[in-house]
Each structure stands twice: as structure tokens, then as C-alpha cells.
């Protein structure tokens, strides 16, 4: 922990007005809880679902990106129940989401999800934010033997952190419009790929060397990501009731995302707990969580996102399944 962080708090204690404001139902989204089928092999990732549920929308002659934001949330507001739900902004996307998810996971069932945060006066709340360790042109791991989100929900079994209420939020929006930014992104990816592939010139001639197999593999993965549709993504972890242990709880939960670490590219997630001497920056982050607002997003490919929104196949007491 840095010296200045010693004077910053990782949580706020809610007064009555703030608790009431944060607990108001979010009317901009429709929430759909998902119940995975029992005794059935689930797909490792939902790439087809991500592709078919995505809507590309632009304005101002294709410059401004107005594509809708979709959320995938894992909530444990009670140790006895783990809720898996999607948040979509329109009835059309609600119907499309159900049809496409049912197509990839036959037997999945749905109910109305939870639109409010169950917070009260006197609760302590903190926020953790996940970001990429390396430049976003380097991809995360996309090859798995089982749904990778299973490693995340494993940390939320009913005996873990029983006094703490936890919610994980993955927001995504397709990259569209913004031609200048997209051109700059591709230029950086192309430059990095070429640098990895080319001969490395040493200080003296006999230190010159060809690119290693690992560098060539990194270049291939960068090229593959650059050639795929991409999404802007924000990942947050909300922790309620942990007090001074808020930062520790955030790290404990975020450890499940280590499965997305890519040994070839060195890409993975790092976690930052929102800290401040004043309450307002933390409260602003809590309001962004409640409003499902993309904030300082990073870009990942369709294949990377498909693993992040997978449905867990873990047999866990607090995961309710389809009847």
C-alpha cells in the first residue's frame, strides 16, 4: 500500500439520504435472472450469444457510438442465494437475449431480476475496479476446459464472507463509429505486431537475434484480436458490510478473474480499490455501479468477452438451477 493510501478510506458509511438514493430501482434497464439447467454440459463460452445479442448503433454520420450497454451481473446479497442476471435497456434486447441464450443453452429458465441495491443507512460500501495489466491490444486467455466464470462464483459460496454482500458487474458495449480512435487503435496493434515479429538488433552485431516463438505467438494473437469485433468493457465489484476489510474482500473476489490471465501474452486483470480521503469519489463510483455506466472502459474481443459472460457449471448450494 502506498504512503498516501494510508490516509484514504476504501469505503463509505451511508447516511439516510445516500442510502435511499442508491437503493432506488434503476428504471433504465430491464433485469432478467438466469437459472442454468441441471445435469447438462454448459458451453465453455457464449461467443455465439455475444455476436447475436450485439446491436451496433451510430449517430452523426457514423461518428458517435450510440450502441446499447448490456450488463452481466453476479449478486450475492444473501449467502444462501447467488443471482445470475443480465441487464438490458430495451424490451427488444430482452427478447433477443432470451432467444439467443436459450438457443445456446437449451433448458435455461428466466425470472425477473433485481433492479435495486439492497442498502440501508449505516451500511459500509466500497468499490473495486478491474483493468488490464498490459496494453489492451494484448488479448486475455480465451481457451478453457470449463466455463471460466465458474472460478469467480466459486469464491461466493454460502460459507464464504457470510457477513458481506457482494455484487460483480460486467458491462459491455460494441465498438462502433469513432473512426479516428479505431484507426489509432489498429495502428498501435499493427506497430506492436511488427515489432514483435522483426529481428531484434543488439548493441553489437553479434547480439542480433530473430524473434522468439513466444514473440511470434504474441504477434499472431494481437493480429487476431485486431481482426475481431471489439467491445468496450467495465468490470466492478461492489462490497457491502465489510468495513475495514472492504479492500481485502475485493481482492478475494477478484482472484477468481486470474483464470483469464494469458501466459503467452502476459495479459490479465489487475484490481484497484477506489480510495479517497473524501466520501464523494467513492459515492460517485457507487452511483455509476447503480446506473450501469461505462467508466474508463478497456477494449476486448468477442472471444474474450464470451468467457466473461459465461454461465457457471459449478454445483454450488447457493446457485439455483432450472426446475
Query: 154-185 pLDDT, tens per residue?
Result: 999 999 998 999 999 999 999 999 999 999 99
pLDDT tens across 180-204, in order?
999 999 999 999 999 999 877 666 6
Rounded to 5 degrees, φ, ψ at 273 are -85, 130
> Which residue range forms the structural domain that includes residue 128?
4-200+210-308
- Nearest in space to 285 (alpha carbons), one of 161, 121, 66, 117: 117
Q: Is 39 exposed, middle or buried (0-12, 13-18, 19+ CB in 10 A)?
A: exposed
What does the chain come to in residues? 323
pLDDT tens across 216-264, in order?
999 999 999 999 999 999 999 999 999 999 999 999 999 999 999 999 9
The answer to the question of residue 316 being in a domain is: no
The answer to the question of residue 320 being in a domain is: no
Q: What is the spatial distance between Cα 133 and Cα 142, in angstroms, rounded to a whole number?
A: 16
Domain count, the chain: 1
The count of other CB atoms within 10 Å of the CB of residue 306 is 21
Does the pLDDT of residue 206 top 80, yes or no? no
In this prediction, residues 89-96 reach a mean pLDDT of 94
Reduce the DSSP state of residue 111 to 3 states and report it.
Answer: strand
The answer to the question of residue 40 being in a domain is: yes
| CA quadruple 164, 127, 251, 33: dihedral sign | positive
The answer to the question of residue 117 being in a domain is: yes
Residue 209 pLDDT grade (very low, low, confident, very high; cuts 50, 70, 90): confident
**Structure pTM?**
0.93
Reduce the DSSP state of residue 104 to 3 states and report it.
Answer: helix
How far out from the chain centre does Cα 313 lie? 18
pLDDT for 61 equals 83
| CA quadruple 63, 65, 67, 68: dihedral sign | negative
Q: What is the spatial distance between Cα 71 and Cα 77, in angstroms, rounded to a whole number?
A: 18
- Nearest in space to 167 (alpha carbons), one of 81, 89, 278: 81
Percent of the chain with pLDDT over 70: 96
CB 153 within 8 A of CB 294: no
In this prediction, residues 294-319 reach a mean pLDDT of 94
Query: Using the 8-state DSSP alphabet, how is residue 268 labeled?
Result: -
How far out from the chain centre does Cα 159 lie? 24
The answer to the question of residue 67 being in a domain is: yes
The answer to the question of residue 61 being in a domain is: yes
pLDDT for 263 equals 95
The answer to the question of residue 322 being in a domain is: no
Instruction: For residue 226, give the C-alpha cell.
Output: 485486431
The answer to the question of residue 323 being in a domain is: no
Cβ partners under 8 Å of residue 270, min gap 6: 130, 131, 132, 133
CB 313 within 8 A of CB 41: yes
- Nearest in space to 283 (alpha carbons), one of 227, 318, 238: 238
Amino acid at each position: 500500500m502506498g504512503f498516501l493510501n494510508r490516509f484514504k478510506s476504501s469505503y463509505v458509511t451511508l447516511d439516510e439520504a445516500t442510502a435511499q438514493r442508491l437503493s432506488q430501482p434503476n428504471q433504465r434497464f430491464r433485469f432478467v435472472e438466469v437459472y442454468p439447467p441441471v445435469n447438462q454440459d454448459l458451453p465453455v463460452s457464449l461467443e455465439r450469444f455475444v455476436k447475436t445479442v450485439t446491436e451496433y448503433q451510430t449517430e452523426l454520420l457514423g461518428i458517435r457510438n450510440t450502441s446499447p450497454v448490456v450488463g452481466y451481473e453476479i449478486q450475492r446479497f444473501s449467502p444462501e442465494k447467488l443471482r445470475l442476471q443480465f441487464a438490458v435497456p430495451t424490451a427488444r434486447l430482452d427478447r433477443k437475449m432470451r432467444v439467443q441464450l436459450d438457443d445456446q443453452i437449451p433448458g435455461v429458465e428466466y425470472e425477473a431480476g433485481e433492479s435495486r441495491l439492497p442498502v440501508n443507512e449505516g451500511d459500509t460500501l466500497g468499490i473495486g475496479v478491474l483493468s488490464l495489466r498490459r496494453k489492451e491490444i494484448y488479448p486475455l486467455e480465451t481457451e478453457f476446459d470449463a466455463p471460466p466464470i465458474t472460478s469467480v462464483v466459486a469464491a461466493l459460496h454460502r460459507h464464504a464472507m457470510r457477513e458481506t454482500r457482494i455484487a460483480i458487474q460486467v458491462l459491455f458495449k460494441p465498438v462502433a463509429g469513432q473512426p479516428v480512435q479505431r484507426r489509432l487503435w489498429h495502428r498501435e496493434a499493427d506497430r506492436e505486431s511488427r515489432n514483435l515479429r522483426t529481428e531484434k538488433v543488439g548493441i553489437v552485431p553479434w547480439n542480433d537475434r530473430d524473434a522468439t516463438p513466444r514473440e511470434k505467438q504474441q504477434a499472431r494473437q494481437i493480429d487476431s484480436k485486431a481482426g475481431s469485433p471489439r467491445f468496450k468493457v467495465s468490470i466492478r465489484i461492489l462490497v457491502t458490510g465489510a468495513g475495514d476489510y472492504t479492500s481485502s474482500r475485493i481482492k478475494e473476489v477478484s482472484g477468481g478473474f486470474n483464470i483469464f490471465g494469458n501466459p503467452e501474452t502476459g495479459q490479465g486483470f489487475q484490481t484497484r480499490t477506489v480510495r479517497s480521503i473524501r466520501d464523494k469519489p467513492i459515492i460517485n463510483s457507487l452511483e455509476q455501479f447503480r446506473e450501469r455506466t461505462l467508466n474508463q472502459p478497456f477494449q476486448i474481443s468477442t472471444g474474450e468477452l464470451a468467457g466473461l459472460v459465461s454461465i457457471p457449471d459449478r454445483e454450488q448450494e447457493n446457485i439455483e438451477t432450472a426446475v
